[in-house]
Amino acid sequence: MFCSVIIPTIGRSSLERAITSILDQEFPQDEFEVIVVNDSGKPLLNSEWQNANNVTILNTNRRERSFARNSGAAIAKGDYLAFLDDDDWLLPGALHEFWVLASQKPESVWLYGGIRIVDEMGKTLAEMNSGLQDNCFAQIMGGAWAPIQASLIRTNTFFQVGGFSPFICGTEDEDLCRRIAYLGDFSSTSAVVACLFRGSTWNTSTNYQRAPADTKMSRDNVLAQPSAFKRLLVSAGTAYWYGRICRVYLSTVSWNLHNKKFFSAASRAMFSLAALAYSGFRILDVEFWKGINAAHVPDTLHYVIKTYEQDQDIHV
């Protein structure tokens, strides 16, 4: 079949909306399946969607998202995998948009579209799409966002990289994205295909205090792969992304020193100097220094949430 949509859940009431948004797609029912991974440790409440022929419920026991998602992927039949959280949902026509994109770009290992960020009142906070195409390794490593809730991943590539890492907590989707960008090409559609819920009532078990360290560890692991430096340079394109490459290497130097990995720290420092040398006259471009200095790439979730929180403080 075309795709398998995997939804890990702890039994939140929003689960039904997520599942219904998939089952109501105007797309052949035998070309997709929904795998609900119940990680709550207790039975789900009875609901009509449980009677659908293309819905499977898999029970785990408080093993967290990476384990739940990998468990769902292990029994998936689709050529592509989609991962949706139980408080997010697909928009009408999403699977058709992905099918068209897959037909146009069969060699791509990651397909994605635009995402709409909404709050608890249904207000649209932003719509975003990085529009990345083909080899976008530098962009993904540098912080560009290809939201997993609005993505399809080729199944064999997912297993080739080992699925979600159990050692990355909270930013495991970004880690997966980096490892897959190292291997293959991305394609995007301009259509908005999914909604991501955020707002004052949104809650998560993610430990954001460890996220910066996990991000550095994830990047360092990918940078250690053969020919990673070459693929970064090939995909850079502009002065801004050459600056981001330098920043990525520099950020892992401090992480390796902190973890007493002195040889790796020296290696990353040498590659950062090499990236600077390959940047050439681009170092005279103001965009290069923007790439080095920016904490986050513009048009990512970080900016949306920061703006939302500032707006909330104004109105309190």
Q: Say what the pTM is.
A: 0.91
Query: Is residue 315 very low, low, confident or very high in pLDDT (cuts 50, 70, 90)?
Result: very low
CB 73 within 8 A of CB 81: yes
pLDDT of residue 204: 61
Secondary-structure breakdown of the chain: helix, strand, coil percentages, each rounded to the nearest 5: 50, 20, 35
pLDDT in tens, 62-97: 777 899 999 999 999 999 999 999 999 999 999 999
CB 210 within 8 A of CB 143: no
pLDDT in tens, 101-142: 999 999 999 999 999 999 888 888 889 998 999 999 999 999
Q: Is 44 helix (H, G, I), strand (E, B) or coil?
A: coil
pLDDT in tens, 164-184: 998 888 789 999 999 999 999
Q: Which two tokens stand for residue 75?
A: 């029994």
pLDDT of residue 295: 77
Alpha-carbon gap, residue 46 to 136, rounded angstroms: 43
Bigger pLDDT: 38 vs 63: 38
Residue closest to 86 by CA, chosen among 118, 121, 38: 38
Give Rg (Cα) of the chain: 20
Alpha-carbon gap, residue 136 to 159, rounded angstroms: 20
Residue closest to 182 by CA, chosen among 143, 148, 226, 145: 226
Alpha-carbon gap, residue 200 to 57, rounded angstroms: 30
Q: Is 104 helix (H, G, I), strand (E, B) or coil?
A: helix
Average pLDDT (41-54) is: 90
Compute how many other C-beta atoms are within 10 angstroms of the C-beta atom of residue 20: 17
Residue closest to 129 by CA, chosen among 143, 118, 113, 141: 113
Alpha-carbon gap, residue 222 to 52, rounded angstroms: 40
Compute how many other C-beta atoms are within 10 angstroms of the C-beta atom of residue 12: 14
**Average pLDDT along the chain:** 90
Q: Which two tokens stand for residue 272?
A: 């950062």
Alpha-carbon gap, residue 46 to 96, rounded angstroms: 29
Comparing 78-87, 210-219, 240-249, the range with the smallest average pLDDT is 210-219
pLDDT at 303 over 80: no
